Structure 1
Amino acid sequence: MMNNINNLEQLCDYFDGLIEHDDADLLFASSYVRGFILIAANDASDEEQPLTAELADRVSAELHAARSELTPQDKVIVDNFWQQIQPCFC
């Protein structure tokens, strides 16, 4: 599924599909990361916006800057999730 994601709308659809999973850590990480992606992508205001390396860099920087608001365990959960979806960004 992740291989077919190449724009913001498709990524949001992927996140929406995660709601069906009964995994609190996955739901937490996906909603947390989604917020940072949407904030970083806000400049374009385009659902068809491609998932670029520049966008991934902005998200990574924002996630890093916000690390202090997470517990050590939550940092690991968020970092692992972010690493899993980063390949969608070219």
Structure 2
Amino acid sequence: MQFKNLTALYDYLDQQVAQDVSADELFAGSYLRGFISLAGSEYGDESQPLTAQLAENISAKLLAARGELNPQDRQIVQNYWQQLQVAFNRQ
């Protein structure tokens, strides 16, 4: 996975609704999008690149909110987030 900026990542997550992805992927993508948006707003606009610093901020927010989800959903989100983090680490 590689995205030019935050907007491209949002587009990818939004397009999942129209694609044939699992319910778990839809759930995780939607849940993560909120945290990505929250963290992204602290660093600039949607044209900003996906930096390691932004990924760390998102990870911290997810950790702080881990009590919101049951263990199974938390694992689904964590697995999906690990896949997305690859795009952040390429910057």
Q: TM-score normalized by structure 1?
A: 0.91
Q: In structure 2, what is the equivalent of residue 76 of structure 1?
A: 75
Q: In structure 2, what is the equivalent of residue 10 of structure 1?
A: 8
Q: Percent identity?
A: 53
Structure 1 position 42 matched with structure 2 position 41: yes
Aligned length: 88
RMSD: 1.2
Q: In structure 1, what is the equivalent of residue 26 of structure 2?
A: 27
Unaligned runs of 5+ in 1: none
Runs of at least 4 residues of structure 1 off by over 2 A?
A: none
Q: Distance in 1 between matches of 2:40 and 2:52?
A: 12
Unaligned runs of 5+ in 2: none
Structure 1 residue 49: deviation in Å?
0.7
